[in-house]
Amino acid sequence: MNPDQVTRAPVNLGARSYEVAIGPGLLARAGSEIAALKPKARLGIVSDTTVWALHGAALRASLDAAGLPYQAVIVSPGEAAKSWDGLRDVCEALLGFGLERGDLVIAFGGGVIGDLAGFAAGVLKRGIDFVQIPTTLLAQVDSSVGGKTAIDAAGGKNMIGLFHQPILVLADSAVLATLPERERRAGYAEIIKYGLIDDPAFFAWCRENAAAIIAGETSANTAAVMASVQAKARVVVADEREGGARALLNLGHTFAHAYESEAGFDGGLLHGEAVGCGMAQAFLFSARLGLCSAADAAEVRAALDAAGFITAPHRLPGAPYSIDQLIAHMRADKKAEAGRLTLILARGIGAATVVKGVDETALRAFLTEET
């Protein structure tokens, strides 16, 4: 792929269709891209202090050049912004800007900002349009596409939310250069996930390119974002509101959310780090149940180890975790039905599958050995 080229991936959802534009330098074109869709809109930008300090000037210059009026609400970085308080503050600020139904919210930041601003846009005046400008690798490959928005509740992460699709996603690969390596590794977990779900060739590509992606090489990142967005778009188009196949995107996530809940959401364990471990564990548990071969599970773990993930839960921050607590978190998962556990497991690399009514005795024994 020519790294100077902006490529576009369509997300075909009928009246809610939109494009994901991918490539370096897109931020400088944000104004003209947005003006082409909404020439008369006023913009309410939601960002965090880190992103705003690093890249706010570039976005402002681009919007100024396009003659688009804007105001910005800037929150503190971190998961804590995805809260009732954070939602209220953002909604009140956007209303204070005088935004109307025909105006636009811009989510400018990582997945936290995308989830929070997207939710705010979805409920403000019963729903106004929004544009995602994702600035983390995780947000570019995953959270900015698909329309899931949410805040966290005492009862768990992402428990309060709605589906609200953006009208445009602008993924500027050059913006990722300022991202700490640890955050890029976290994003890589969600990239290799697409290979593990249904694309063994992409899994192999990810293994070969792990170092370049995590080091932040623009061409590797652009290619990884393009492939990931196309993979996610395919799944979302087939199952927008997660009645079936979209659940596969949660590979490793039931384990991951349980680890995150035990580690606390203070930055000690990043979501992508938890997902890296969770996917390795999902494959090991699949092998234990006889669903997939031990060789495949070992290969997945080796790939994640080589990329720098901790794949043994007992070595994660704050470990060892309580097995009872882990199981309680897994039962509280949104996929659980009538208290019966649902996990995304695998029949092999590139063959993820939804398993309902998971044998809790076997899971408990497995967790006890691994954690």
Catalytic residues: 126, 148, 190, 232, 242, 246, 250, 253, 257, 271
Closest separation between CB of residue 54 and ligand NAD, Å?
Answer: 5
Kindly write out the interface string for residues 224-253 of this chain, putting x where it contacts ligand NAD by CB under 6 A and - elsewhere.
------------------------------
Closest Cα partner for 57 from 27, 94, 36?
A: 27
Crossing angle, helix 271-288 and helix 294-306, to 10 degrees?
Answer: 160
How far, in Å, CA of 195 to CA of 182, rounded?
21
The verdict on 178 binding ligand NAD (CB under 6 A) reads yes
Binding mask 265-284 for ligand NAD (x = CB under 6 A): ------x-------------
Minimum separation from the CB atom of position 41 to ligand NAD (A): 23
Least distance between ligand NAD and beta carbon 161 (Å): 8
**The one among 87, 138, 141, 277 contacting ligand NAD by CB under 6 A:** 138
- DSSP letter (8 states) at residue 177: G
Contact by Cβ (8 Å): 336, 330:
yes
**Closest Cα partner for 132 from 85, 94, 164?**
164
Q: Helix, strand, coil shares of the chain as percentages rounded to 5?
A: 55, 20, 25
Site string for ligand NAD, 57-96 (x = CB under 6 A): --------------------xxx--x--------------
b vs e for 109-134, b when ≥16 Cβ sit within 10 Å of the residue's Cβ?
A: bbbbbbbbbbbbbbebeeebbbbbbb
Q: Please name the amino acid found at residue 369.
A: E
Nearest-approach distance from CB 340 to ligand NAD, in angstroms: 24
Question: Could you say which residues in the range 143-162 bind ligand NAD, by CB under 6 A?
Answer: 143, 146, 148, 157-158
Alpha-carbon gap, residue 205 to 224, rounded angstroms: 9
Residues 305-344 that bind ligand NAD (CB under 6 A): none
Which residues in this chain contact ligand NAD in the complex, by CB under 6 A?
Answer: 48, 50-51, 54, 77-79, 82, 109-113, 115, 135-136, 138-139, 142-143, 146, 148, 157-158, 175-176, 178-179, 183, 186, 271
